[in-house]
Structure 1
């Protein structure tokens, strides 16, 4: 008779599912973009005093120096996106919840830049932020896979 050993039971599971396999290809591509963007943001924050002019932009927010208020906001957004990308790529349990927060922040900033800012500052024109489209699908996908991600 064949005895089952509990010591090696975890290796007998042939249906290994990686958390990373839950992510579609387009999100994996953006993960690498934001991993690089987060690293660049960290480098810019460390070497910002040596830079005279650098153009930063995300979600319609523009800055010419990483140590201005908007530059710091953009840098911290890229750092956060880099941390989320790291968590998703390396399959951390907290990553999907952080990605949901990231998507909500991105949608909120895009809506503010579309609806509120053009009417309060005359030098900023109304623009439709196309970033809302992938942010919406990103948010929906992260909400769909949240339970599965956390249970693996």
Structure 2
């Protein structure tokens, strides 16, 4: 979980940097859960930056053991799962290409680990 936190905190910072780069009209590739763009200042670019920012904030909260970290992490996992399912259904219908999103294989255990950690996390706060 520790390495994942660092990866997603870095990813959150890079999402913000992509928006800043895009503000100057420079293209920057952004991709997550099958959604991608090379124009950070567009609907898809801002959407991806928000999702990446949520992932980065969840990682930051978990790493620094913030009181709301489990809730944010669960929201992140559910949001990621929903976006993957939408991509699994939407892309074959519109683009006529089948794409299997392997991220779901990581999001489900991530949610389960957070679910198991929740009780210990809440008791840790009370001490």
TM-score by length of 1: 0.77
Deviation readout 1:101-136 (Å, 9 max, x if unpaired) = 1000000000110023321x1x35121100000101
Match of residue 45 from structure 1: 19
Match of residue 127 from structure 1: 99
Extract unaligned runs of 5+ from structure 1. 1-26
CA distance in 1, matches of 2:77, 2:49: 17
CA distance in 2, matches of 1:93, 1:49: 34
Match of residue 85 from structure 1: 59
- Flag the 1:39–1:134 CA change in 2: closer, same or farther, 3 A: same
Match of residue 71 from structure 2: 97
Q: SS in structure 1 opposite 2:36?
A: strand
Match of residue 46 from structure 2: 72
CA distance in 1, matches of 2:114, 2:89: 26
- Flag the 1:124–1:75 CA change in 2: closer, same or farther, 3 A: farther
Larger Rg: 1
Do 2:12 and 2:53's aligned partners in 1 also have CA atoms closer than 8 Å? yes
Extract unaligned runs of 5+ from structure 2. none
Do 2:18 and 2:28's aligned partners in 1 also have CA atoms closer than 8 Å? no
Deviation readout 1:8-31 (Å, 9 max, x if unpaired) = xxxxxxxxxxxxxxxxxxx21111
Do 2:34 and 2:84's aligned partners in 1 also have CA atoms closer than 8 Å? yes
Do 2:21 and 2:27's aligned partners in 1 also have CA atoms closer than 8 Å? no
Which structure has more helix as a fraction of its residues? 2
Give the superposed CA RMSD. Answer: 1.2
